[in-house]
Structure 1
Amino acid sequence: MTLERRIADAFRMDEATWARHANPWSGWTRVPALPLLALAAWSRAWIGWWGLLPVAVVFAWVWVNPRLFPPPRRWDGWMTRGVLGERNWLARDRTPVPAHHRLVPHILTAIGAVGLALAAYGVAALAVWAAIGGVAIATLAKMWFVDRMAWLHHDMTKDTA
């Protein structure tokens, strides 16, 4: 089982949840989760331990979000195909992905992890440029990853979108 699939399992992502998460509203409203999490964690500098409340709200949003929206009316949108491609990627140990899709997602995940580490340092040290830079790097890596997943979905299903 892939690490990514274990994470999806921890979020209890079943078939119905994945279908709902494929709604573009679900994908697009999750994009600001990392900047909001950084801001929520930063709020400890202003409101002390009460800063845990906005952190909890962001984590709750990340968990509730894939369950909140109905399945998409159309399945050809970029974000929808990105989510569907991510499902293909998670199952790559059961259904192999094309060779030209095997390396770049790992590189983008590593870049995102570096951005996440920089953002975590920035928030912990209250270093604004490290926090902003890390969030930007991680977010851009994730968006590029979604684009690769949309391409992967296209190649694995031969959709025409």
Structure 2
Amino acid sequence: MTTPTMEQRIARVFGLQGDKWMRHANAASVWTRFTVLSLLALAIWSRDWIGWYCLIPIALAVLWMMVNPLLFPPPRSTRNWASASVLGERVWSERGTADIPAQFRSPVPNLTNVIGVAGLILLAYGLVRLDVLTTVAGVLIVNVSKLWYLDRMALLFAEVKGRPEYASWDF
């Protein structure tokens, strides 16, 4: 038995197993998930305006993050960048048991995640200090690093979608 990858552990936390990946691959779900970080930052910032009541918008932002993939049906087609990126992410998360093409066995996905963590640190600092520029920079860095990661995953899916184990995902 292979040790689960970090991505598989995260997927389990969000309930992404089996067919639930397809709901997650709905392009509308992918694009609306990009609102989560901005909404969460705004909710945390609101502590300056509404005090402890900021816990309400924070809870709503966290709820949005958790239920977002559940709100969308499986996509009618996966032949778009957003869906392909999620399906590539699924392939990547299963790399302990899946054969990943050589050109994708690189540090780039990990690098994008490190950049994202640096953006989160900057974002947290901006939110603690109530510094608009630092907060916005943090959000942008996190989102751009996620887009880079997802782009790599879309390319990965494009490379493997002809394999029998993934062919049914390409519709």
TM-score of the pair, normalised by structure 2: 0.89
Q: Does 1:71 align with 2:71?
A: no
Question: Aligned AA for 1:122?
Answer: G
Aligned partner of 1:48 in structure 2 is 51
% identity of equivalent residues? 46
Separation in structure 2 between the aligned mates of residue 153 and residue 48 of structure 1, nearest angstrom:
45
Which moves more between the two structures, 10-19 or 29-38?
10-19
> Which of the numbers 70, 81, 85 marks the counterpart of 1:82?
85
TM-score where L is the length of structure 1: 0.94
Instruction: Give 2:103's aligned residue.
Output: 100
Look up the equivalent residue of 1:6 and give its one-letter code: R
Distance apart, 1:14 and its partner CA:
2.1
**Aligned position for 2:116:** 112
- Cα shift at 1:99: 2.5
SS in 2 for 1:15: coil
Q: Following the alignment from structure 1 to structure 2, what is the Cα–Cα distance between the partners of residues 132 and 121?
A: 11
State the match for 1:155 in structure 2: 159
Which residue in the other structure is 1:18 paired with? Answer: 21
Match of 2:137 in 1: 133
CA distance in 1, matches of 2:102, 2:122: 31
- Amino acid in the other structure paired with 2:159: D
The answer for unaligned runs of 5 or more in structure 2 is none
Q: Which runs of 4+ in 1 moved over 2 A?
A: 158-161
1:142 to 138, 143, 146: 146
2:130 maps to a residue whose letter is: L
RMSD: 1.6
Count of residues in Structure 1 that have an aligned counterpart in Structure 2: 161
2:61 counterpart (58, 63, 67): 58
Structure 1 range deviating more: 73-82 or 149-158:
149-158
Superposition deviation, residue 101 in structure 1: 1.6
Q: Deviations over 1:48-77 (max 9, x none)?
A: 111111111111111101111111111101
